[in-house]
Structure 1
């Protein structure tokens, strides 16, 4: 069973996400346990203060190291295995499906959700094992990023999804965007499902899906194609797509 702990200044943000949908199902199936911890509870300051002015001046406040270290060390003392301590930060490496798959193999993750102008650098240097960013934009705090990561990781845990193959075929799992999906009715307002999907010919269906996945990737995320090893047939598909354009 995986354990995920969240260190936050705003624990009230988490219940709606952790107690809904796949996250709730994963917890009920005992694939994962979640713990949400208020960093203020670990502050030695009588006012439970967790921030201070930066040395050298400058705008904004900085998260002080003591409460964060104390909170993380408290969890580490109770841990059955060495946890990965993840700091949510705009300076971190991009969080991708590949990174999600790596983290899904861990037993214990601790997410540090930052606020204010940033962290005291000693948190980064001496506590965090990983730094991640969910995109090139700034959020008010790390809570939303931590929940995004937790959702992505949780759905990869064995037994969480009804069909484990679902996660393997998601966009990015195979390096490309996912193919289009259709369901009933076969004709909706004159918009019809492609004939190949109604044919029952599984080999042709898989070929169509792979081709559509390649086409969608070429149109929307051509940068991903540089990382792929394509077959000769797929290269012909790609050339055909480029010619159409």
Structure 2
């Protein structure tokens, strides 16, 4: 599976993807993760990627031009079609069913917003869907992207040493275990 992440902090994604299950999946060739920085596609001395919102209001909005150029470069890097998913508190809540749907795709592009968000015209023209990881506000979409990368990677065949842990319904403890603590076998500490 190929995942392209458009973010102002591609190093964050690279570091989080180098660890644990995601890191092993990448080593095994099951995950091909690429970070794309819109600042690399911005013009001018300062490589500006944000501006004040039209009509006023607090904060800054990510600009269309660097995002559009960055997305075009990400799409050109691989001809396989890919949905463009914007991580946003206004998006549909991420569920395990949605994770399974995304994990079946050969490729996806994740867009991480910053500041007060992304220019609405870019979202309307380029984004396939918006996904939320919860009803709270974060500094940007990178943590949401990391959640999606981790969740879909676990479902790739060969990513886990024991595939039984990612069977449908295995994302929570059995109903009879509700309220009971989890322990290792006796003798292991």
TM norm structure 2: 0.90
Q: Counterparts of 1:197-216 in structure 2 under 5 Å? A: none
Q: What's the Cα RMSD here? A: 1.6
Q: Distance in 1 between matches of 2:71 and 2:40?
A: 12
Gaps of 5+ in 1: 172-176, 189-245
Following the alignment from structure 1 to structure 2, what is the Cα–Cα distance between the partners of residues 50 and 152? 29
Deviates more, 1:62-71 or 1:39-48: 39-48
SS for the counterpart of 2:151 is helix
Does structure 1 conserve the Cα–Cα contact (< 8 Å) formed by 2:110 and 2:145?
A: yes
The structure with more helix, counted as a fraction of residues: 1
1:165 Cα deviation (Å)? 1.9
String of CA shifts for 1:25-76, please: whole Å, max 9, x gaps: 1011111111112110011233110000111111111011111111111111
Please say which of residues 106-115 and 7-16 is displaced more in the overlay.
Answer: 7-16
Q: Which residue of 1 aligns with 2:173?
A: 178
TM-score under structure 1 length normalisation: 0.70
Q: What displacement does 1:182 show?
A: 4.4
Spell out structure 1 runs of 4+ moving beyond 6 A. none
Count of matched residue pairs: 181
Give me the whole-angstrom Cα distance separating, in 1, the residues matched to 2:77 and 2:144.
25
Identify the residue that residue 14 of structure 1 maps to in structure 2. 13
Which consecutive residues of structure 2, in runs of 5 or more, have no partner in the other structure?
none
Aligned partner of 1:37 in structure 2 is: 36
Which structure has the larger Rg? 1
| Secondary structure in structure 2 of the residue aligned to 1:76 | helix
Question: Which residue of structure 1 lines up, in the alignment, with residue 46 of structure 2?
Answer: 47
**1:80 positional shift:** 2.9
SS of structure 2 residue aligned to 1:140: coil
* 1:188-229 residue CA offsets vs partner (Å, 9 max, x unmatched): 9xxxxxxxxxxxxxxxxxxxxxxxxxxxxxxxxxxxxxxxxx
